[in-house]
Amino acid sequence: MIFKTLVEDISEDPSMSAEHGLSFYIETPGHKILFDLGQGDLFLKNARKAGIFIEDVDTVIISHGHYDHGGGLSAFLKENRKAMIYVRKCAFDPHFAVRPGDRIDDIGLDTALPKIYPERFCLTTGDLRIDDELELMTEIEETFPAPGGNRLLLSGSVPEKIPDHFRHEQNLIIRCGGKTYLITGCSHRGIVNIVRQYHKKHDRPEEAADLVIGGFHLMIPGAEGREPDEKIRLIAAELLKYRADYFTCHCTGKEAFEILSEVMGDRISYLKTGDGLRS
């Protein structure tokens, strides 16, 4: 499998720019995949610099209905004429964020796109097995506390905004080369809950996840900055109960990553814009 981070919040590669957002390019024996598309067309610019041809992508997964993960949909649809885009139907509901000074910003997706390109979208409503390589997991039992930053995120119509339940979030499972990869966008349902749910659903030892990749949503905008240290350490201890190695990024934040690393050692790494994996 070939894996390349096209968009993430940090870049140490002078040829590739960064932004607050996420986009992964993934190549398996059967697919060329984009998992999330960042805010706009940066994924496209960075892909070109990496020698990746976006017109050849056959599958797009949008992890949830926020602009920093699906804002690049319009740019993608102009560049690619064949890929099926898998996104939760409710991802196109209104979504908002509470900003400093109690300002409320629209952080949702472009709701016109599924109407303009209906044949390009698969609007998912539950867990979905796409084929032998790809599966989407959406139903998550919340047995561990959700990220604290979720309280600043809302859904619903104006003015009836309510706390976001994150039913619009989905996670990608890839099976290839004798390994299983669990890929998340922001883990708004809680990374511990997502990993637990995967292993509850796939409970045979040979089905255990080998790599877990994505954002863990441990940053909290404002004075707090991040989850409490003790909660981060507890998350790390829970993740170590599984055999997987972890690659995190984006909404985890570098400060929280350093605390995770104190507990998890070389079982966890940070992916920046331009970083890749090959296995």
pLDDT digits (tens, 9 = 90+) for 45-78: 999 999 999 999 999 999 999 999 999 999 999 9
Indicate if the pLDDT at residue 159 is higher than 60: no
Virtual torsion, Cα 198, 108, 248, 227, nearest 10 deg: -90
DSSP string, 242-277: SS-EEEEEGGG-HHHHHHHHHHHGGGEEE--BT-EE
Q: In the prediction, which pLDDT does 279 show?
A: 73
Return the domain boundaries, the chain.
2-278
- Which residues are within 8 A (CB) of 234 and not within 5 positions of it... i.e. 6 or more apart? none
Distance of CA 123 to the CA centre of its chain: 17
Q: What is the pLDDT of residues 163-203, one digit of tens each?
A: 999 999 999 999 999 999 999 999 999 999 999 999 999 99
**Percentage of the chain modeled with pLDDT above 70:** 99
pLDDT band at residue 251, thresholds of 50, 70 and 90? very high
- What is the bridge-based pairing of β-strands 245-249 and 211-215? parallel
Look at residues 62, 54, 61 and name the one whose alpha carbon lies nearest to residue 80. Answer: 54
CATH topology of domain 2-278: Metallo-beta-lactamase; Chain A (3.60.15)
- The pLDDT value recorded for residue 102 is 85
What is the per-residue pLDDT across 210-230, written as a single tens digit (0 to 9) for each?
A: 999 999 999 998 878 999 999
**CB-CB contact of 218 with 174 (8 Å):** no
How high is the pLDDT of residue 114?
98
Mean pLDDT of the chain: 97
- How far apart, in whole angstroms, are the C-alpha atoms of residue 91 and residue 111? 9
> Considering all CA atoms of the chain, what is the largest pairwise distance in Å, rounded to the nearest integer?
50
